[in-house]
Amino acid sequence: MSLSLPRVLVIQHEETVPPALFGHWLAEAGMCVDVCRAYAEPIPPLSSLDASYSGLLVMGGSMDADSDDEHPWLQVTRERI
């Protein structure tokens, strides 16, 4: 039987706001940390989140939570939460 590490998806909204210490702490706790840079790549679909991830960490940013016009990935982030 192969044991896989629990996976956590980190949604990063800006290049300047990485998971930093959170990413280190999760890795030290034995988690596999996958970072999705939402400003530059699509956020994984809900179907893969249900099957693949044990947790979700959403980073902040300088934008408002409802700044969908300037940051279209915010709506997708809310759907994933």
* pLDDT value of position 3: 61
What does each of the 81 residues of the chain score in pLDDT, given as a tens digit?
Answer: 446 889 999 999 999 999 999 999 999 999 999 999 999 999 988 777 677 888 999 999 888 888 899 999 999 999 888
Beta bridge partners of 28: none
Within 10 angstroms of residue 39's Cβ, the number of other Cβ atoms is 15
Beta bridge partners of 36: 11
Type of residue at 27: A
- Its pTM stands at 0.86
Within 10 angstroms of residue 49's Cβ, the number of other Cβ atoms is 15
